[in-house]
Structure 1
Amino acid sequence: MDFIYKKVTLDYSPVFSILIPSWNNLDYLKCVVNSIRKNSYYKHQIIVHINEGNDGSEEWVLAQEDIGYTKSSQNSGVCYGFNAASHLAVAEYLVFIDDDMYLCPDWDFFLFEEIANQKDDKWCISGTMIEGFDKGNVCVIADKNYGNHPSEFDEDKFLAEYATYPKEDWNGSQWYPMVLPTFVYRAVGGLSIEFFPGMYSDPDFMIKLWHYGIRYYKGIGKSRVYHFASRSTGRVKRNDGRTEFILKWGLSSNTFFKNYLKIGPKFLGVLPNPEENFMLKLKKKIDRWKVKFKTKPIDIS
Structure 2
Amino acid sequence: MIYDCQKKEISFEPVFTILIPSWNNLDYLKFVVQSIYKNSVHKHQIIVHINEGKDGSLEWIKEQKEISYSYSSENCGVCYGFNLASHMADSPYLVFIDDDLYLCPDWDELLLAEIKKMPDEKWCISSTMIEPTDKGISCIIPNKNFGFHPSEFDEELFLSEYKSYPKEDWNGSQWYPMVLPTMVYRAVGGLSPEFSPGMYSDPDFMIKLWHYGIRYYKGVSASRAYHFGSRSTGRVKRNDGRSEFILKWGLSSNTFFNNYLKIGTEFLGYLPDPEETNFLKFKKWIDRWKVKFKTRPVKFWKE
Residue number in structure 2 paired with 1:223: 223
Q: In percent, how many aligned pairs have the same letter? A: 73
1: CA distance between counterparts of 2:55 and 2:150? 16
* Structure 2 residues not aligned, in runs of 5+: none
Residue number in structure 2 paired with 1:240: 240
2: CA distance between counterparts of 1:81 and 1:121? 24
Q: Which digits, 9 at most, give the CA deviation of each residue in 1:94-113, with x for residues without a partner?
A: 00000000000000010000
**RMSD (Å), alpha carbons:** 1.0
2: CA distance between counterparts of 1:297 and 1:126? 41
Letter in 1 for 2:197: P
TM-score by length of 1: 0.98
Aligned partner of residue 79 in structure 2, secondary structure: helix
Aligned partner of residue 146 in structure 1, secondary structure: coil
2: CA distance between counterparts of 1:225 and 1:114? 17
Q: Which digits, 9 at most, give the CA deviation of each residue in 1:109-154, with x for residues without a partner?
A: 1000000011121100000000000111111111000000001111
Residue number in structure 1 paired with 2:279: 279
| Greater shift in the superposed pair: 201-210 or 59-68 | 59-68
Q: Report the Cα offset of residue 208 of structure 1.
A: 0.2
Residue number in structure 2 paired with 1:179: 179
Aligned partner of residue 136 in structure 2, secondary structure: coil
Residue number in structure 2 paired with 1:154: 154
Letter in 1 for 2:102: Y
Runs (4+) of structure 1 exceeding 6 A deviation are none
1: CA distance between counterparts of 2:230 and 2:182? 28
Shift of the 169–295 alpha-carbon distance from structure 1 to 2, 3 Å rule, reads same
2: CA distance between counterparts of 1:169 and 1:61? 35
2: CA distance between counterparts of 1:230 and 1:241? 17
Residue number in structure 1 paired with 2:110: 110
Query: Is 1:39 matched with 2:34?
Result: no
Query: Is 1:211 matched with 2:206?
Result: no
Q: Report the Cα offset of residue 235 of structure 1.
A: 1.4
Q: Report the Cα offset of residue 168 of structure 1.
A: 1.4
**Contact 1:148-1:230 at 8 Å conserved across structures:** no
* Structure 1 residues not aligned, in runs of 5+: none
Residue number in structure 1 paired with 2:85: 85
1: CA distance between counterparts of 2:144 and 2:237? 30
**Contact 1:111-1:125 at 8 Å conserved across structures:** yes
Shift of the 44–282 alpha-carbon distance from structure 1 to 2, 3 Å rule, reads same
Letter in 1 for 2:150: P
Aligned partner of residue 5 in structure 1, secondary structure: strand
Aligned partner of residue 282 in structure 1, secondary structure: helix
Query: Is 1:202 matched with 2:202?
Result: yes
**Contact 2:100-2:231 at 8 Å conserved across structures:** no
Aligned partner of residue 223 in structure 1, secondary structure: strand
**Contact 1:35-1:102 at 8 Å conserved across structures:** yes
Aligned length: 299
* Pairing 1:248-287 to 2, within 5 Å after superposition: 248-287=248-287
Q: Report the Cα offset of residue 11 of structure 1.
A: 1.3
Q: Report the Cα offset of residue 230 of structure 1.
A: 3.7
